[in-house]
Amino acid sequence: MVTALLLALALAAPAVTPRPAVAPAAPGTPPDSPVERRRATLARALLQVAVQVRRDVERGDITALAARIPPEGLRCGGRLIPRARVEHDLRDGASWLHGVLFGGPGAPVETGQPGSLRELFAAAKEVTVLVSFRADPRAEEGLPCLDYRVPGRVTPGAPLCFEPKGGRYWFSESLYPCP
Protein backbone atom coordinates (compact mmCIF):
# COMPACT_ATOMS: atom_id res chain seq x y z
CA MET A 1 0.00 0.00 0.00
CA VAL A 2 1.28 3.46 -0.84
CA THR A 3 1.40 5.58 2.29
CA ALA A 4 2.51 8.95 0.97
CA LEU A 5 3.16 10.77 -2.25
CA LEU A 6 6.03 13.11 -1.62
CA LEU A 7 7.36 14.63 -4.80
CA ALA A 8 6.58 14.97 -8.46
CA LEU A 9 9.16 15.79 -11.08
CA ALA A 10 8.81 16.79 -14.71
CA LEU A 11 11.73 15.47 -16.72
CA ALA A 12 11.86 17.31 -20.00
CA ALA A 13 14.98 15.44 -21.08
CA PRO A 14 17.38 13.00 -19.43
CA ALA A 15 19.92 15.78 -18.81
CA VAL A 16 17.45 18.05 -16.99
CA THR A 17 18.12 18.67 -13.31
CA PRO A 18 15.20 17.50 -11.15
CA ARG A 19 12.96 20.17 -9.70
CA PRO A 20 10.88 18.87 -6.80
CA ALA A 21 7.30 20.07 -6.55
CA VAL A 22 5.45 20.74 -3.33
CA ALA A 23 3.51 17.69 -2.18
CA PRO A 24 1.43 16.84 0.87
CA ALA A 25 2.64 14.86 3.87
CA ALA A 26 1.20 11.43 4.62
CA PRO A 27 -2.36 11.61 5.97
CA GLY A 28 -2.39 12.04 9.73
CA THR A 29 1.37 12.66 9.94
CA PRO A 30 2.60 16.12 10.83
CA PRO A 31 4.65 17.46 7.89
CA ASP A 32 7.56 18.28 10.20
CA SER A 33 7.70 14.84 11.88
CA PRO A 34 10.99 12.89 11.81
CA VAL A 35 9.41 10.27 9.53
CA GLU A 36 8.28 12.90 7.01
CA ARG A 37 11.70 14.58 7.10
CA ARG A 38 13.36 11.21 6.34
CA ARG A 39 10.85 10.60 3.54
CA ALA A 40 11.59 14.02 2.05
CA THR A 41 15.34 13.32 2.16
CA LEU A 42 14.86 9.88 0.59
CA ALA A 43 12.54 11.31 -2.07
CA ARG A 44 15.05 13.98 -3.11
CA ALA A 45 17.76 11.33 -3.46
CA LEU A 46 15.40 9.02 -5.34
CA LEU A 47 14.67 11.74 -7.89
CA GLN A 48 18.35 11.60 -8.84
CA VAL A 49 18.01 7.81 -9.18
CA ALA A 50 14.95 8.37 -11.40
CA VAL A 51 16.99 10.48 -13.81
CA GLN A 52 19.73 7.83 -13.98
CA VAL A 53 17.28 4.94 -14.42
CA ARG A 54 15.61 6.84 -17.25
CA ARG A 55 18.96 7.33 -18.97
CA ASP A 56 19.86 3.66 -18.48
CA VAL A 57 16.54 2.47 -19.93
CA GLU A 58 16.71 4.87 -22.89
CA ARG A 59 20.26 3.68 -23.70
CA GLY A 60 19.36 0.03 -23.15
CA ASP A 61 22.12 -0.15 -20.53
CA ILE A 62 21.36 -3.53 -19.00
CA THR A 63 24.67 -3.57 -17.13
CA ALA A 64 23.81 -0.35 -15.26
CA LEU A 65 20.36 -1.64 -14.31
CA ALA A 66 21.78 -5.03 -13.27
CA ALA A 67 24.19 -3.20 -10.96
CA ARG A 68 21.15 -2.11 -8.91
CA ILE A 69 20.09 -5.69 -8.19
CA PRO A 70 21.03 -6.62 -4.62
CA PRO A 71 23.63 -9.41 -4.30
CA GLU A 72 21.04 -11.67 -2.64
CA GLY A 73 18.50 -11.11 -5.44
CA LEU A 74 15.00 -9.63 -5.38
CA ARG A 75 12.19 -10.41 -2.98
CA CYS A 76 9.00 -11.45 -4.73
CA GLY A 77 5.85 -12.50 -2.88
CA GLY A 78 7.64 -14.17 0.01
CA ARG A 79 10.35 -15.79 -2.11
CA LEU A 80 13.71 -14.66 -3.44
CA ILE A 81 14.57 -14.44 -7.13
CA PRO A 82 18.35 -14.98 -7.41
CA ARG A 83 20.39 -12.14 -8.89
CA ALA A 84 21.60 -14.39 -11.72
CA ARG A 85 17.98 -15.07 -12.76
CA VAL A 86 17.10 -11.35 -12.72
CA GLU A 87 20.20 -10.52 -14.79
CA HIS A 88 19.27 -13.29 -17.24
CA ASP A 89 15.74 -11.90 -17.56
CA LEU A 90 17.10 -8.38 -18.15
CA ARG A 91 19.26 -9.68 -21.03
CA ASP A 92 16.71 -12.10 -22.53
CA GLY A 93 14.78 -10.12 -25.17
CA ALA A 94 11.85 -12.55 -24.92
CA SER A 95 11.43 -12.25 -21.13
CA TRP A 96 8.69 -10.23 -19.47
CA LEU A 97 11.23 -8.14 -17.53
CA HIS A 98 13.23 -7.19 -20.64
CA GLY A 99 10.01 -6.49 -22.52
CA VAL A 100 8.50 -4.25 -19.86
CA LEU A 101 11.71 -2.18 -19.57
CA PHE A 102 13.06 -2.12 -23.13
CA GLY A 103 10.35 -3.55 -25.41
CA GLY A 104 10.19 -6.78 -27.33
CA PRO A 105 7.99 -9.86 -27.40
CA GLY A 106 7.84 -10.11 -23.61
CA ALA A 107 6.29 -6.64 -23.28
CA PRO A 108 2.70 -6.41 -22.04
CA VAL A 109 0.16 -5.50 -24.71
CA GLU A 110 -2.54 -2.97 -23.84
CA THR A 111 -4.18 -0.97 -26.62
CA GLY A 112 -3.10 2.66 -26.61
CA GLN A 113 -0.53 2.17 -23.86
CA PRO A 114 3.24 1.88 -24.13
CA GLY A 115 4.55 -1.67 -24.15
CA SER A 116 7.74 -0.73 -22.34
CA LEU A 117 9.25 1.92 -20.13
CA ARG A 118 11.57 2.90 -23.00
CA GLU A 119 8.53 3.46 -25.23
CA LEU A 120 6.88 5.55 -22.50
CA PHE A 121 9.97 7.79 -22.35
CA ALA A 122 10.05 8.14 -26.15
CA ALA A 123 6.34 9.03 -26.30
CA ALA A 124 6.58 12.43 -24.62
CA LYS A 125 8.89 15.39 -24.09
CA GLU A 126 7.99 15.54 -20.40
CA VAL A 127 7.70 12.63 -18.03
CA THR A 128 6.46 13.13 -14.48
CA VAL A 129 8.08 11.06 -11.77
CA LEU A 130 6.09 10.30 -8.65
CA VAL A 131 7.86 9.22 -5.50
CA SER A 132 5.73 7.29 -3.04
CA PHE A 133 6.29 5.06 -0.03
CA ARG A 134 4.80 1.60 0.42
CA ALA A 135 4.31 0.19 3.89
CA ASP A 136 7.36 -1.90 4.78
CA PRO A 137 8.02 -3.47 8.19
CA ARG A 138 11.79 -3.00 7.71
CA ALA A 139 11.59 0.80 7.53
CA GLU A 140 9.32 3.17 9.42
CA GLU A 141 9.26 5.60 6.48
CA GLY A 142 8.33 2.78 4.10
CA LEU A 143 9.77 1.50 0.85
CA PRO A 144 10.46 4.36 -1.62
CA CYS A 145 9.07 3.78 -5.13
CA LEU A 146 9.19 5.57 -8.49
CA ASP A 147 6.36 5.74 -10.96
CA TYR A 148 6.92 7.47 -14.32
CA ARG A 149 3.86 9.18 -15.81
CA VAL A 150 2.91 10.70 -19.14
CA PRO A 151 -0.61 12.16 -19.60
CA GLY A 152 -2.96 9.49 -20.93
CA ARG A 153 -0.41 6.70 -20.52
CA VAL A 154 0.47 4.38 -17.68
CA THR A 155 3.79 2.94 -16.60
CA PRO A 156 4.11 -0.60 -17.92
CA GLY A 157 4.81 -3.23 -15.26
CA ALA A 158 5.05 -2.30 -11.60
CA PRO A 159 6.40 0.87 -9.96
CA LEU A 160 10.14 0.69 -9.40
CA CYS A 161 10.81 0.39 -5.67
CA PHE A 162 14.20 0.77 -4.06
CA GLU A 163 15.87 -0.19 -0.85
CA PRO A 164 18.50 2.26 0.36
CA LYS A 165 21.51 0.38 1.75
CA GLY A 166 25.12 1.42 2.12
CA GLY A 167 24.63 4.76 0.37
CA ARG A 168 23.13 3.08 -2.74
CA TYR A 169 19.61 2.52 -3.99
CA TRP A 170 18.99 -1.14 -4.85
CA PHE A 171 15.95 -2.44 -6.71
CA SER A 172 13.44 -4.07 -4.43
CA GLU A 173 10.80 -6.70 -5.18
CA SER A 174 8.86 -4.45 -7.54
CA LEU A 175 10.63 -5.35 -10.79
CA TYR A 176 8.35 -8.37 -11.14
CA PRO A 177 4.56 -8.48 -10.68
CA CYS A 178 4.66 -10.29 -7.32
CA PRO A 179 1.53 -11.28 -5.37
Interval 113-147: pLDDT, tens? 777 899 889 988 889 999 989 887 778 888 899 98
Higher pLDDT, 28 or 145: 145
The answer to whether 47 and 129 have CB atoms below 8 angstroms apart is yes
Has residue 149 got a pLDDT over 50? yes
pLDDT averaged over the chain?
Answer: 80
Burial (Cβ within 10 Å: 0-12, 13-18, ≥19) of residue 169? buried
Burial (Cβ within 10 Å: 0-12, 13-18, ≥19) of residue 154? middle
What is the Cα–Cα distance from 21 to 127, expressed in whole angstroms? 14
Torsions phi, psi of 89, nearest 5?
-65, -35
pLDDT tier for residue 34 given thresholds of 50, 70 and 90: confident
Q: If you write DSSP's letter for every residue of 104-173 in order, what string do you get? A: STTS---TTS-SSHHHHHHT-S-EEEEEEEE--TT-TT-EEEEEEEBTTB--SSS-EEEEEETTEEEE-G
Please report, as a single letter, which amino acid is at residue 90: L
Has residue 27 got a pLDDT over 90? no
Please report, as a single letter, which amino acid is at residue 58: E
Has residue 20 got a pLDDT over 60? no
Has residue 64 got a pLDDT over 50? yes
The confidence score (pLDDT) of residue 106 equals 75
Q: What is the pTM of this model?
A: 0.79
84: Cα separation from own chain's centroid: 20
Interval 73-93: pLDDT, tens? 998 878 899 999 999 999 999
For residues 9-29, give the mean pLDDT: 43
Rg (CA), the chain: 16
The answer to whether 105 and 93 have CB atoms below 8 angstroms apart is yes
For residues 33-53, give the mean pLDDT: 91
State the DSSP code for 114: -
